[in-house]
Amino acid sequence: MVIETRPDPSRNNDRALSAGELAVARHLLIHGPATRGDLGDRLNLSYASTSRAARALIQEGMASEALEQESAVGRPRQVLTAVPTARHVLGCKLTTDTAYGVVCDMYGNVTAAARAALPRPDSSGTVSLAGTVKVIAQLTTRLGRKVPSLDGIGIALGGVVSGRSTVREGTFLGWRDVELAGPVTERTGLPVTVTNDVTALAREQLWFGAGRSHSTFGVITVGAGLGFGVVREGVAVEELIDNGHLLAHVPVDPRGPVCGLGHRGCAAAYLNREDVERRVSAAAGRTVTFDDLIRDRAAGDEDAARLLDEAARALGHLIATFAGALQTPCIVLAGEDVAAFAGSRVMDEVIADRLRPGPDEAQRCVLDLITTPLTFNDWARGAAVAGIQNILGAV
């Protein structure tokens, strides 16, 4: 016997959830269906609080509840399930020249994707804010047609973002102290959250990836630059104190190559795509891209293999340092270039050596490395998940 409890069609999508409702919604989204009793136990809520939260979520259309007869003699159980399609959010990743958009449901499932060119930068290298807002609004209209309604927007970009709305430094757009959330809300009428792209990725991992098994973990992205995200005790760190410099420029080898800031042998010198390409191109007397290096290695080129091994070694040190400082066994490796290092023997050896116990010690942990090479749509999905968390009122 299954008795469905139907949502109230007059639901109000704008109301932020209470702490209890959010905890229940989050648990259902991340861990799947559960009884009120299970939820109370897992979330340390009283039965009355759990029931109140369940009723509110059903009322909002965000959860449904069914009576399931467990056995012929037992009492029927009320099982709560999230309704992922109750809300949809546009996620938008801004690069130097393109806005990548995806629409996601509450599970972070992508239901539609599109992209649009951003305005060209002016003579000072600045991309027009008004033009960018217009492009995002157009993507919102275009992708909004694919779902019953859009409930919010999450925007992610490289750089420093404050207060989930102001781009303090928009590295790739030439922006400084640009208020972005307000103008997009004005144009679209939707709640907007703006996030550093790696932070958005950390938020996505918190709900739908590494966060399912680890309450504390780090994210390293390898691509156009090195990026870092931190989740501590179930909370994503919104703004890094140093924009990742303390890790990106950690010394690896005092005889190594020089990074763009002039450090000899820091991690960035080995892993920043621009730094690597500049150095290799200068040595070769022609333009050599990171992708060329990967291709050359596959074709048996020893120089390319050595260069990528050196980079993998630097990445191994970076992972070990990050994990040690954060005191987590879990590091997520992501980004456009990370596939080049997945399963690297050199990287594994560096990490094993850093963990190696002394003569009278036992090894305390092994590292859990999760590698997720990313496309721009994956970055946009991270933005969408940050947008979902925003409309649900999650911290």
Interacting residues toward Zn ion by CB under 5 A = 249, 259, 261, 263, 266, 268
Spacing of C-alpha 80 from chain mean position = 27
DSSP-based three-state secondary structure for 245: helix
Residue 125 CB, shortest distance to Zn ion, in Å, is 23
Nearer to Zn ion, 143 or 259 (CB): 259
Under a CB-based contact definition with an 8 Å cutoff, are residues 97 and 118 in contact?
Answer: yes
Nearer to Zn ion, 249 or 381 (CB): 249
Nearer to Zn ion, 87 or 263 (CB): 263
Backbone angles phi, psi at 133, to 5 degrees: -60, -40
117: which strand partners?
Answer: 98
Maximum alpha-carbon separation in the chain? 80
Strand 160-162 versus strand 110-117 pairing type: unpaired
Residue 375 CB, shortest distance to Zn ion, in Å, is 28
Ordered DSSP codes for 6-30: PPPTT--TTSPPPHHHHHHHHHHHH
Question: Which of 49, 55, 42 has the alpha carbon at shortest distance from 11?
Answer: 55
Distances (CA, A) of 304 to 166, 267, 336: 41, 18, 18
Q: How many residues does the chain have?
A: 395
Nearer to Zn ion, 22 or 268 (CB): 268
Residue 248 CB, shortest distance to Zn ion, in Å, is 7
Nearer to Zn ion, 153 or 318 (CB): 318
Residue 269 CB, shortest distance to Zn ion, in Å, is 6
Question: Which of 161, 290, 167, 159 has the alpha carbon at shortest distance from 222?
Answer: 290
Question: Which of 389, 394, 395, 378 has the alpha carbon at shortest distance from 87?
Answer: 389
Residue 261 CB, shortest distance to Zn ion, in Å, is 5
Under a CB-based contact definition with an 8 Å cutoff, are residues 318 and 335 in contact?
Answer: no
Residue 268 CB, shortest distance to Zn ion, in Å, is 4
Nearer to Zn ion, 214 or 263 (CB): 263
Nearer to Zn ion, 103 or 259 (CB): 259
Residue 264 CB, shortest distance to Zn ion, in Å, is 8
DSSP-based three-state secondary structure for 305: helix
Residue 334 CB, shortest distance to Zn ion, in Å, is 21
Question: Which of 194, 175, 190, 180 has the alpha carbon at shortest distance from 238?
Answer: 194
Residue with tokens 């116990």: 357
Nearer to Zn ion, 162 or 321 (CB): 321
The tokens for 351 are 């990490």
* 138 CB-side CA count, 13 A: 14
Measured N-to-C along each axis, helices 19-31 and 47-59 cross at an angle, to the nearest 10 degrees, of 80
Residue 317 CB, shortest distance to Zn ion, in Å, is 13
Nearer to Zn ion, 16 or 325 (CB): 325
